[in-house]
Each structure stands twice: as C-alpha cells, then as structure tokens.
Amino acid sequence: MQQIVKHFTDNDLYTFTCMYYIVQSYPRAEVEYTFFDRNKTVYPDGFDALLREQVDMMKNVVITDEEIEFMQQKCYYLPKWFIDVFLRGFRFNPAEVDISMDKDNHLHVSVKGKWYSAIIWEMPILSCVSELMHILNGDTKIYDEQTEREYIRKKSEEIFSSSLVIGDMGTRRRFSFEHQKVVLEEMSRVYKEKQWSGIFTGTSNVWFAMKLGLNPLGTMSHQIISFEENCSSVFEVNHSVMEKWAEVYNGDLGIYLYDCFGDNVFFNNFSKKMAMLFSGLRVDSGNEEEQIDKIVAKYKELGVNPLTKQVIFSNGLNIKRAIEINNYAKGKIIPSFGVGTFLTCDLTSGGGVIKPMNIVVKLTRSRITESREWHDCVKLSCDKGKTLGNEMKCKYLQSVIG
C-alpha cells in the first residue's frame, strides 16, 4: 500500500503548540493514548496489518528546511530552537504504537511513551485509518475529482456569502490527503475571486497551509486539561491550565478550550484576570445557543465586554448549522468556525454513499514522571456521546461536579 502520511507537518497545528507546552511544562511526563471508534466499525480482515505498515513507514518522515522556514515565519509564538533544533531532530517512533483487532474485527490502537513524543501520533493514525477504510470500501474507485471540485465551489460560495468566518479543521477524518488538497484549493480559489461578506481563515493542517499560502490555525486540545486534572483538582484544573498556558505562550494563542470537564466547572472558576488575558473561547460540545448565553453572561458578570471576545465553534458543524449559530451570535460575541468532516469528507461522488468515519484518539492514562504512578485521564463533555475514559472515574467525577 502506498504511504499515506509523507510529510512531517501533515498534522494539525495544535500538535506542535501542545508539544512545546509539554516540553516546557511536563518534559518527563509519560502517557497512553487510546483509539475510539464511536460507530463500533467492523474492519476488514488484515486491516491491522495495513495500518501497522503505515505506522512503520513513518519512521522515515522528517521535517524539511521548507517546513522549518514556514513555521518560523508563521508560528512566531514557537521559539526558533524548538522548530530548528527540537523538531529538526525529532523522529517518529513506531514502537510507541500498538495495533490489533479482536475476534469481532474491532480495531484497537494505543500509543504509549513520553508525552512530547507520543502526542504526534494522533493525527497520522486517524487520517490513515480513515483513508485506508475509504480505499478498502471501494470509495476511491467512485471518486470523481472534477465533480467534487464543482461541489466544493458551490459550497464555498454559500459559505463566503453567508458572513461566516471559517477555517478547515478536517485532517483527522478526511476522505484522503489528495481530497483535502482539492477542498482547500477550491476554497482558496473561490475566496480570492471577489470580496465576500465571509472570511476564510485558513487550515489547521500545517503542510497545506504552507503549500497553499494559508494561515495555520490552532491552539490547544482537550488532552492538556485532561492531563492536568491529575495534577490539580477538577475544580481548579481550568485555572491551572490557563495560568501555565499563558506563562508558556506569554499571552499568544489565547483561545481556551473549556469543556473538558463540562461548562459549569469552567464558568464557576473563570476569573476576570483570565477573561482579560485570553482572547476568547472554543465551543466544542453542548448546544451552541445555550453556550453563547452562558459565555455572554459570564463575561458581563466579570465586567468584560463580550463583544471584544472571539468564540470559535467546532462541534461537528455543517454550513446550515454554522449559519444558524452565526445569526444567533451576532451582536453578542465575535463568532468564528472551525469545520472538519463536512469539508474534507462530505462528497457527492457516488450519490452520497461515501460516509465519514467517527473516530478519535484520546489521552487515557498519564504520569508526571517515569517514577510516578499512572492515573486515568478522562473527558467529560457537554455531549454525553463525547464522554470518554475510565467509566468508574467518569461516574465519580460526574457525581463530584454534579
């Protein structure tokens, strides 16, 4: 099988921003990640061997001078030594990844190692699983590039004429590397054709941002907060992360992802200092209108004008839903959107028979150093279907926080 992930920065920006945070804050931490298939997909025989082949091929993927130069120009918040020394010397370690299938052909993948190293596997594993399945399902045989380009053009015109401020976050569950390229090429082309009411903010994929002249997007992921819960109490975890994140980035990358342990835990401990220091919040679960109301009320309670704060919505959105949220948010906050699967795995080829996967890789265990004990890491989302991790710990924390 041809290698799927060939480029070091064919990855989301938050992988590298979180990696630097880890190097600065928890350089000796060790973790374990677990693959979850929310659809409980039955995989074809031999799928584990094909995925193993893809993982093993990544040992030869290294960052190039072109990628280093791009990141130094665009990712100004990352120090030069981290990009030019640490990332230049970094190597994927396939031994960190364990892959198997059970008797029912359900896929099991785990990643275990130093946190700063293991973190880089999330996106390659997800994009490889997704693309491999589309190949084995025969979806690539009915894929028609010209048809998809026309479809993306129409979708882009709808997006940019609807006053949406929007970026691509679709690497993890894309149809293929080539299709993500097609999507971003057409969106860029349409956006440049005339003045639109909407804004195309860029892509979370660093490689495509470099190759297509786009802005790389991203700040943090849930794993930062999930890890910290084992260092701070669940009630203090968000404040602790915000302090450490602000210390590492000196005020840059100020969009905070707040729902790892539900919204009440966050809002009950969201201080005016952090409200002023961080430029905004990301909504990744729950009902968006309700979250907007809570965000606005909290900012006002703290004496902060919510119209000065950006809120990014990223919870499995399509364009119709994004427009509804945008209309509701007007005059309340500064709304913007990160859209993933609806851009990179929403296809018209085959009359809609090509279906996206519903897969994630999440942090499930951690320890601060190699000499400390292991603890379970969990995520308690505002959406019940997104709650992941040790069931007993999830139930305990839910009982504690109500």
* Residues 308, 370 within the same domain: no
Query: Is the residue at 5 inside a domain?
Result: no
Residue 149 pLDDT greater than 90, yes or no: yes
Residue with tokens 């999930």: 226
* Residues 370, 341 within the same domain: no
What's the structural domain count of the chain?
2
Query: Is the residue at 3 inside a domain?
Result: no
Residue-number span of the structural domain to which 318 is assigned: 144-351
Cβ neighbors of 115 (< 8 A, separation 6 or more) are 22, 26, 29, 30, 31, 227, 366
Query: Is the residue at 79 inside a domain?
Result: yes
Pick the closest to residue 4 from 221, 207, 216 (CA basis). Answer: 207
Q: In this structure, which amino acid lies at residue 332? A: K
Confidence of residue 188 (pLDDT cuts 50, 70, 90): very high
- pLDDT at position 298: 98
Mean pLDDT of 289-313: 98
Confidence of residue 402 (pLDDT cuts 50, 70, 90): confident
Q: In this structure, which amino acid lies at residue 64? A: T
Tokens representing 249 are 């980035």
Q: Residues 100, 110: contact at Cβ < 8 Å? A: no
Produce one character per residue of 186-206: b if its CB has 16 or more CB atoms within 10 Å, e if not: bbbebbeeeebebebbbbbbb
* Residues 128, 177 within the same domain: no
Pick the closest to residue 262 from 251, 270, 252 (CA basis). Answer: 270
Query: Is the residue at 181 inside a domain?
Result: yes
Tokens representing 219 are 């700040």
Query: Is the residue at 17 inside a domain?
Result: yes
Q: Residues 269, 237: contact at Cβ < 8 Å? A: no
Distance of CA 22 to the CA centre of its chain: 17
Residue 384 pLDDT greater than 90, yes or no: no
Query: Is the residue at 6 inside a domain?
Result: no
Mean pLDDT of 123-137: 98
* Residues 373, 258 within the same domain: no
* Residues 51, 19 within the same domain: yes
Query: Is the residue at 263 inside a domain?
Result: yes
Q: Which of 333, 351, 369 is the last residue of a domain?
A: 351
Give the model confidence (pLDDT) of 192-213 as tens digits.
999 999 999 999 999 999 999 9
Residue 388 pLDDT greater than 90, yes or no: no
Confidence of residue 382 (pLDDT cuts 50, 70, 90): confident
* Residues 135, 148 within the same domain: no
Q: Which of 351, 369, 393 is the last residue of a domain?
A: 351
C-beta atoms surrounding 118 within 10 Å: 22
- pLDDT at position 371: 96
* Residues 385, 274 within the same domain: no
Determine the Cα–Cα distance for residues 87 and 292; give it in Å rounded to an integer. Answer: 38
- pLDDT at position 73: 98
Give the model confidence (pLDDT) of 347-375 as tens digits.
999 888 899 999 999 999 999 999 999 99
* Residues 102, 241 within the same domain: no
Confidence of residue 167 (pLDDT cuts 50, 70, 90): very high
Tokens representing 110 are 């785990």
pTM over 0.95: yes
* Residues 194, 340 within the same domain: yes
* Residues 289, 152 within the same domain: yes
- pLDDT at position 100: 98
The CATH number of whichever domain residue 26 belongs to comes to: 3.20.140.10
Q: Which of 310, 325, 351 is the last residue of a domain?
A: 351
Average pLDDT over the chain, rounded to an integer: 96
Determine the Cα–Cα distance for residues 233 and 400; give it in Å rounded to an integer. Answer: 11
* Residues 265, 382 within the same domain: no
* Residues 114, 209 within the same domain: no
Confidence of residue 186 (pLDDT cuts 50, 70, 90): very high
Query: Is the residue at 385 inside a domain?
Result: yes
Pick the closest to residue 25 from 189, 243, 172, 279 (CA basis). Answer: 243
Give the model confidence (pLDDT) of 17-69 as tens digits.
999 999 999 999 999 999 999 999 999 999 999 999 999 999 999 999 999 99
C-beta atoms surrounding 89 within 10 Å: 9
Determine the Cα–Cα distance for residues 184 and 4; give it in Å rounded to an integer. Answer: 18
Mean pLDDT of 248-275: 96
